[in-house]
Amino acid sequence: MADPITYEMRGVSPDKPDVHRAVAALDPGLFPGAFCRLLPDHLGGDPAMCVALHADGVGSKSIVAHLMAVETGSVRWWRTLPQDSLVMNTDDLLCVGAAGPWVVSNTIGRNPRFVGAEALAAIIAGHADFAAMLGGQGLRMDLCGGETADIGDLVRTVVIDSTIAVRMRRAAVIDASGVRPGHVIVALASDGRATYEDRPNSGMGTNGLTSARHDLLSRHYRDAHPESFDPALGDRAYTGRFRVTDPLPDGDGMTIGEALLSPTRTYAPIVARLLADGRHGISALFHNTGGGLTKCLGFGRGVRYVKDAPFPLPPLFRLLAAESRLPPRELARTWNLGQRFEVVCEPTLAPRVIALSEGFGVAARVIGRVEAIPGDGVEAEVAVGGERVTFARPAKG
């Protein structure tokens, strides 16, 4: 049996060290330890306010939509992709306490040979769908249009990105550099069905799709759809045994393709309510995207995040663990494993966080705690499948 194929072996990094090195010399903004970069309020000129401008996108999840559209003959799979892009922005911004109003500009770069007019219309409509859902939860998102370009020479299928701007009071910023030992870590589940969702969610999110797609889907796609992968991957492309229309084992009626395409859950309705009730007792909010359960390593000084009581793996992640055969260390840094948002808070606040989340139909639990360690470094100890793995960020010189 061949050795497992890691994310890096497919030309992608889950924690993007090249990006972090490239931006290390840039101005870190008003709150260098915050989850997002915050700047002075150049838009309104108010010294009590600050501004965040955040950009992110769907990544290779759009390739799964392409395969589903081809296999089923339906363009409906394109319509939820804008939510994936928008949530990658909104829920990062939630981590500094910015719960809107949000102003959005989107960018679509497509290859029209594979993403036609109907698919494009579905993508554009998907932005309005998500904004309307937020509006129904009392949250405001204004869509300002954007850019749509036909760039078949550059893009195999489609790239869907968005940029979101928001203003907020400086006094209300949650600065994750102040993570406190003695606080607990409350995780909010990424699977199940929230009250504001119209279908069950596999918990996939928008990260780790390159590994998930190639680990689960079969060589059929390598042969039939060369537009859906980098030819340099060779026999590392599509090494799995499933078609997108095959059922997900124990998957609540979802197919493999539906599970991979589950719209990235937003925690905005939950977190906005939590913040409206008061920010005292919260030292950090983490959106577990790139880097998975190790996202916390970028924040704080002299602390260890101990995540020793995680949620059981949801069906999709159980399948990914089995099919990829990746060791626990790689699983923890590639996928969210069913817990994509974390609230680090005083122990006395945890029951309220859990009750609030469960009131929206999202499971929540205390999965760990924050401990002090000597020096300025940061560590994370994560339990995956009964095994504990430790990650470290060295102290800054």
Question: Domains, the chain, ranges and CATH?
Answer: 8-393 (3.90.650.10)
Q: What is the pLDDT of residues 61-103, one digit of tens each?
A: 999 999 999 999 999 999 999 999 999 999 999 999 999 999 9
Q: What is the pLDDT of residues 36-64, one digit of tens each?
A: 999 999 988 999 999 999 999 999 999 99
- Cα–Cα distances (Å) from 303 to 32, 129, 366, 374, in that order, read 17, 41, 18, 8
**pLDDT above 80: residue 19:** no
- Cα–Cα distances (Å) from 276 to 93, 313, 338, 387, in that order, read 15, 31, 26, 38
Euclidean distance between CA atoms 170 and 159, whole angstroms: 34
Looking at residue 7, its pLDDT comes to 53
Residue with token string 């299928």: 157
Find residue 106's DSSP bridge partners: 146, 162
Assign 247 to helix, strand or coil.
strand
Q: What is the pLDDT of residues 320-333, one digit of tens each?
A: 999 999 999 999 99
Task: Tell me which of 22-31, 40-49, 127-136 is least confident.
Answer: 22-31
Sheet holding 39-40, edge to edge: 39-40, 49-57, 158-169, 102-110, 141-150
Of the chain, the percentage scoring pLDDT greater than 90 comes to 88
Euclidean distance between CA atoms 28 and 34, whole angstroms: 9
Higher pLDDT, 393 or 188: 188
* Contact indicator for 81, 123 with CB cutoff of 8 Å: yes
**pLDDT above 80: residue 1:** no
Of the chain, the percentage scoring pLDDT greater than 70 comes to 94
**pLDDT above 80: residue 23:** no
Rounded to the nearest angstrom, the gap between the alpha carbon of residue 249 and the centroid of all alpha carbons in its chain is: 23
Which amino acid belongs to residue 229? F
Looking at residue 15, its pLDDT comes to 58
Query: H or E stretch including 162?
Result: strand 158-169
Non-local (6+) Cβ contacts of 280 within 8 A are none
Looking at residue 184, its pLDDT comes to 98
Looking at residue 339, its pLDDT comes to 97
HSE at residue 57, side-chain half, CA atoms within 13 A, is: 14
